[in-house]
């Protein structure tokens, strides 16, 4: 996919609209994970260094009623962005109007401002998330060019991406969006083989289309996490009190048939009687899970089975944890596989597909040992499904 990027623009003196994804977790007004901010820094530094006038905006959380605004203001994010850039970031606490227009018009080359949470517009008829044409046109009027660097919302058709693009002459990808297109899109189109895909997480229903698409692309698909128990049930095994989508058992059978041996399931699991971080853990064969126990992690034999398959790969895609990694006692499977993939940085292309698997890798301190960690959860999943993402489609072709 040959898309124009920020490198294709002359930015000096231009008012540069930049859609970023600063939808970061916060607690009591304090950012608890700033990875998405850090990932946007190369694009913003490039605009500043080239003499552009950066107008930065993002959504944060969900805004359903006025009381949601206070806890979802981007003010703390703007402050932290300024610290990371070591540069003053002017924060404009509105999403439209004279104060914003005046602030934009006062920008000088190399300046940067951020305006308030785009979702504040959703209080008035969901104008942002429903791609209100008047709102997209208004935001487009504030700038000369548009840089979309928000992969986390690329699967949504919003006023702040598609709406702006429809009303401005030039739309390009920032460095982060470019990376997502290159590593996820490029890998799915022309992977270096063998390609091994690892899928975890809770539900088969969340990843039906991902599995189907990856079966067309991958050489092996390893399945763990909560979704594995629906597949074990499809093989005729009792799964005790494990997470199970009973209405998806027949679908799991169909996927196993469709796979033609590409799907690799485990041989053993770690179980517990209760969903509790201190619950006693047991190792059980997949065909011997007691009626009063639930699967919490992949077992040691499965870890070795998965490890062997992964180490043979030239490309690895991973989406979804392989157990209840939030509980230290049941994190060993996810941590082991993360460590194995991390060891392959110099020999394979290794991609983490956002969401909980990205959180796990970062929590283990391994984030620098992967080729690419996606900043999009839902966007990554839809990209893995082979879908066309509106936020990428709206970027100008080269």
Asked if 140 and 218 sit in the same domain, the reply is no
Q: Is residue 389 part of a domain?
A: no
Residues 73 and 221 in one domain: no
Tell me: pLDDT of 202 over 60: yes
The answer to whether residue 397 is domain-embedded is: no
Cα 298–Cα 302–Cα 307 angle in degrees, nearest 5: 115
Range of the domain at 206: 191-384
Report the C-alpha gap between 319 and 200 in whole angstroms: 6
* Whether residue 315 sits in one domain with residue 279: yes
Which of 294, 277, 274, 293 is closest to 329 using CA atoms?
277
- Residue 146 has φ and ψ, to the nearest 5°, of -125, 125
What is the pLDDT confidence band of residue 354, given thresholds at 50, 70 and 90?
confident
Whether residue 95 is found in the same domain as residue 14 = yes
Residue 218 has pLDDT above 80, yes or no: yes
Indicate which CATH number applies to the domain containing 229. 3.40.50.1260
Number of H helices, E strands in the chain: 16, 17
Please indicate, yes or no, whether residues 150 and 195 belong to a single structural domain of this protein: no
Question: Could you tell me if 93 and 197 lie in one domain?
Answer: no
Nearest CA to 152 among 365, 377, 373, 396?
377
Of 357, 353, 351, which Cα lies nearest the Cα of 371?
351
Q: Is residue 322 part of a domain?
A: yes
Residue 14 sits in the same domain as residue 146: yes
Give the chain's end-to-end CA distance (angstroms, integer): 9
Residues annotated as part of the active site: 36, 203, 355, 378
Helix, strand, coil percentages (3-state) for the chain, rounded to 5, are 40, 15, 40
Average per-residue pLDDT for the chain: 95
Q: Where are the beta strands (DSSP E) in 189-299?
A: 195-199, 220-223, 263-264, 268-272, 282-285, 294-298
- Of the three residues 141, 176, 211, the one that is the final residue of a domain is 176
Whether residues 124 and 261 share a domain: the answer is no
Whether 394 is covered by a domain: the verdict is no
Question: Ramachandran region of residue 58, left (φ > 0), alpha (ψ -120 to 50) or beta?
Answer: beta
The number of folded domains in the chain is 2
Q: Would you place residue 120 in the very low, low, confident or very high pLDDT band (cuts 50, 70, 90)?
A: very high
Residues in a beta bridge with 146: 17, 171
Question: How much of the chain exceeds pLDDT 70, in percent?
Answer: 100
Select the more confidently predicted residue: 386 or 17. Answer: 17
The owner of tokens 């005046």 is 102
Confidence band, pLDDT 50/70/90 cuts, at residue 229 = very high
**Does residue 376 sit within a domain?**
yes
Same structural domain, 315 and 252:
yes
Those residues with Cβ within 8 angstroms of residue 105's Cβ, 6 or more apart along the chain or in another chain: none
Question: Using one digit for the tens of pLDDT, what is the confidence trace for 1-60?
Answer: 589 999 999 999 999 999 999 999 998 889 998 989 999 999 999 999 999 999 999 999
Q: Please report the pLDDT score of residue 1 as a whole number.
A: 53
Measured CA to CA in angstroms, residue 65 lies from 29, 115, 321 at distances of: 18, 20, 33
Neighbours of 289 (CB within 10 A): 23
Residue that is last in its domain, among 153, 176, 199: 176
- Residue 375 has a pLDDT of 86
Residue 197 is assigned to a structural domain of this protein = yes
78 and 203 housed in the same domain: no
Whether 124 maps to a domain, the answer reads: yes
pLDDT of residue 83: 98
Residues 172 and 197 in one domain: no
**Which domain-ending residue is among 144, 176, 208?**
176
Whether residue 200 is contained in a domain is answered as yes
pLDDT, residue 29, reads: 86
pLDDT, residue 378, reads 86
Residue 90 has pLDDT above 70, yes or no: yes
Check residue 251 and give its pLDDT. Answer: 96
Q: Do 219 and 87 share a structural domain?
A: no
- For the segment 296-314, what is each residue's pLDDT rounded down to a tens digit? 999 999 999 999 999 999 9
């Amino acid at each position: 996919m040959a898309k124009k990027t920020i490198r294709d623009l002359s930015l000096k003196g231009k008012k540069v609209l930049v859609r970023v994804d600063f939808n970061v977790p916060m607690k009591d007004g304090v950012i608890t994970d700033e990875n998405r901010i850090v990932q946007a820094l190369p694009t913003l530094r490039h605009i500043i260094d080239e003499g552009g006038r950066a107008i930065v905006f993002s959504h944060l959380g969900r805004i359903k009623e006025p009381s949601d605004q206070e806890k979802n203001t981007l003010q703390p994010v703007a402050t932290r962005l300024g610290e990371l850039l070591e540069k003053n970031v002017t924060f404009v606490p509105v999403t439209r109007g004279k104060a914003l227009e005046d602030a934009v018009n006062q920008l000088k080359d190399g300046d940067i401002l951020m305006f308030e949470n785009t979702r504040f517009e959703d209080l008035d008829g969901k104008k942002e998330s429903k791609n209100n044409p008047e709102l997209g046109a208004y935001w487009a009027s504030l700038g000369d060019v548009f840089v979309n660097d928000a992969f986390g919302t690329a699967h949504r058709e919003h006023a702040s991406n598609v709406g702006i693009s429809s009303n401005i002459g030039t739309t390009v990808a920032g460095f982060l969006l470019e990376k997502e297109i290159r590593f996820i899109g490029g890998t799915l189109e022309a992977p270096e083989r063998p390609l091994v895909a690892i899928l975890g997480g809770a539900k088969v229903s969340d990843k039906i289309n991902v599995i189907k698409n990856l079966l067309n692309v991958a050489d092996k698909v390893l399945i763990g996490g909560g979704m594995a128990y629906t597949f074990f049930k499809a093989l005729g095994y009792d799964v005790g009190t494990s997470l199970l989508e009973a209405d998806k058992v027949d679908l799991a059978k169909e996927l196993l048939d469709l796979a033609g041996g590409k799907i690799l399931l485990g041989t053993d699991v770690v179980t517990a009687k209760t969903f509790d971080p201190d619950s006693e853990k047991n190792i059980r064969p997949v065909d011997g899970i007691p009626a009063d126990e639930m699967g919490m992690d992949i077992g040691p034999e499965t870890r070795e089975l998965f490890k062997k398959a992964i180490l043979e790969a030239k490309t690895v895609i991973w989406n979804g944890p392989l157990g209840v990694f939030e509980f230290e006692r049941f994190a060993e499977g996810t941590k082991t596989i993360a460590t194995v993939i991390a060891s392959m940085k110099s020999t394979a292309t290794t991609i983490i597909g956002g969401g909980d698997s990205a959180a796990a890798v970062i929590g283990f301190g391994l984030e620098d040992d992967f080729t690419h960690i996606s900043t999009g959860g839902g966007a990554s999943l839809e990209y893995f499904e082979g879908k066309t993402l509106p936020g990428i489609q709206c970027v100008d072709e080269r």
